[in-house]
Copies of this chain bind each other. A is one copy, B any other.
Amino acid sequence: MRTRPLKVALLGCGVVGSEVARIMTTHADDLTARIGAPVELAGVAVRRPDRVREGIAPGLVTTDATALVKRGDIDVVVEVIGGIEPARTLITTAFEHGASVVSANKALLAQDGAALHAVAEQHGRDLYYEAAVAGAIPLIRPLRESLAGDKINRVMGIVNGTTNFILDAMDSTGAGYQEALDEATALGYAEADPTADVEGFDAAAKAAILAGIAFHTRVRLDDVYREGMTEVTAADFASAKEMGCTIKLLAICERAGDGASVTARVHPAMIPLSHPLASVRGAYNAVFVESDAAGQLMFYGPGAGGSPTASAVLGDLVAVCRNRIGGATGPGESAYAALPVSPMGDVVTRYHISLDVADKPGVLAQVATVFAEHGVSIDTVRQSGKDGEASLVVVTHRASDAALTGTVEALRKLDTVRGVASIMRVEGE
């Protein structure tokens, strides 16, 4: 066994970084045995150097992250700062100075993954980021290695724990969105500013990363259709229950049409209670993968938190260290398929539409005609009325998003349609 230790620089020492440092210390013997050489924490870049960091020698702590990644003797840089800058520049500098990089930075990978992979490849170094998607759940490695001999057709998952916690609370207690969000905030599942989670930005970044890996195609954050879950109501959950469904915020990446293009999207959707994703509770994540040969797979586990994310970071750290010792690199970016990303209008799925309509004869016929004119086939209709007002719930067969949008626009113009109360996609059938 080689005895010169591999030197690791840690950028960021918050919830995840401190766990990475702790496990590197407490599991040092195991890591040495699994890697084939000791790993040594060579420096920790932080913003607030005066904060006491248990188990980290004060001499390792620095505020000068740039100097740390430029040292030249660093084998692996672990980036757990998050955000675009300074993370992007630091990672690029790390590659230029001979280090491989393990990152948990979904926003950066979704935006600049291709460029970072190119720099890594140019310098013959590894860029690993299992922790960027679905926390501790092994997902990047299974998709890009275990399924490397298969053809993935769809990746559909719950990849944001905060929104799943809120939706699960709404489902189980009948609470409204604001009440459930307040509970999530009080319990520490939602941040003070929950925008990135509830508006789907976090899930969209993960969808871009997953789609890129699954389809061997560059998918940028801008390519991902995104709809948050702030407008999901208790009434939507009641409608979902009537259909034997629940509501989840899903990231869905799939081949479109004849497989010549791909789509990626994040939005709330109804899914049947019998679907494995329906029973994913609380802040857990789960990702459902469909491929030609393997069929249907699901990966389930904690999607966030210091320890779970550190587990994923350390798995990557072991792999990258093993590669360095062996003089090899792991799989880099695979974007050879270069499929176009189709717009949301091309997505084909089912829809659940609630309309407020006038309670008089002929309304259903009018509405049904509009659907037919736009080529959207109706599966079921349920009508209920009181006091001159009525509601009409239409569930469609599969239709394109463009056709559905056209249908809804036309419905809004009908005198007898007072309003479109909700439109929700139905997935997982």
A297 contacts partner chain B, Cβ-Cβ < 8 Å: yes
Cross-chain contact of A142 among B23, B142, B300 (Cβ < 8 A)? B142
Complex Cα distance A313/B293, Å?
11
A308 contacts partner chain B, Cβ-Cβ < 8 Å: yes
- Chain B minimum-CB-distance residue to A22: B293
Complex Cα distance A296/B216, Å?
30
A300 close to B301 (CB less than 8 A):
no
> Beta-carbon contacts of A302-318 to B below 8 Å, as 1s and 0s?
10010110111111111
A242-300 with Cβ < 8 A to chain B: 276, 279, 291-300
Complex Cα distance A394/B336, Å?
61
- Chain B minimum-CB-distance residue to A33: B336
A328 contacts partner chain B, Cβ-Cβ < 8 Å: yes
Complex Cα distance A74/B354, Å?
63
State the Cβ distance, A88 to closest chain B Cβ, in Å.
25
Could you say which of A33, A291, A297, A302 has the most chain B C-beta atoms within 10 Å of its C-beta? A297
Contact (A141, B148) CB under 8 Å given A298-B301, A301-B295, A308-B295: no
Cross-chain contact of A315 among B148, B316, B336, B337 (Cβ < 8 A)? B148
A37 contacts partner chain B, Cβ-Cβ < 8 Å: no
* Copies of this chain, tallied across the complex: 2
B136 close to A293 (CB less than 8 A):
yes
A334 contacts partner chain B, Cβ-Cβ < 8 Å: yes
Complex Cα distance A337/B302, Å?
27
A171 contacts partner chain B, Cβ-Cβ < 8 Å: no
Task: Provide the residues of chain B in CB contact with A23, threshold 8 Å.
Answer: 149-150, 293
Complex Cα distance A328/B329, Å?
9
What is the number of residues of chain A that contact chain B, defined by CB distance less than 8 Å?
58
Which of A111-119, A156-164, A319-327, A408-416 touches B?
A319-327
- Chain B minimum-CB-distance residue to A322: B331
Complex Cα distance A241/B130, Å?
40
B149 close to A314 (CB less than 8 A):
yes
Contact (A315, B150) CB under 8 Å given A137-B297, A294-B302, A302-B296: yes
Task: Provide the residues of chain B in CB contact with A328, threshold 8 Å.
Answer: 323, 326-328
- Chain B minimum-CB-distance residue to A30: B151
Could you say which of A137, A312, A315 has the most chain B C-beta atoms within 10 Å of its C-beta? A315
Complex Cα distance A316/B318, Å?
19
A145 contacts partner chain B, Cβ-Cβ < 8 Å: yes
A149 close to B295 (CB less than 8 A):
no
A146 contacts partner chain B, Cβ-Cβ < 8 Å: yes
A318 close to B149 (CB less than 8 A):
yes
**Interface residues of A, Cβ cutoff 8 Å to B:** 19, 23, 27, 30-31, 33-34, 130, 136-138, 141-142, 145-151, 216, 276, 279, 291-302, 305, 307-308, 310-319, 322-323, 326-329, 331, 334, 336-337
* Leading 4 A-B pairs by shortest Cβ distance: A149-B314, A138-B146, A328-B328, A136-B294
A-B contact pairs, 18 of them (CB 8 A): A27-B149, A30-B216, A33-B336, A34-B216, A34-B336, A138-B146, A138-B147, A147-B311, A149-B316, A150-B311, A292-B307, A292-B311, A293-B308, A293-B310, A294-B308, A322-B331, A327-B328, A328-B328
Known: A138-B138, A141-B146, A147-B315. 6 other contacts (CB 8 A): A30-B151, A34-B336, A130-B146, A293-B308, A294-B307, A295-B307
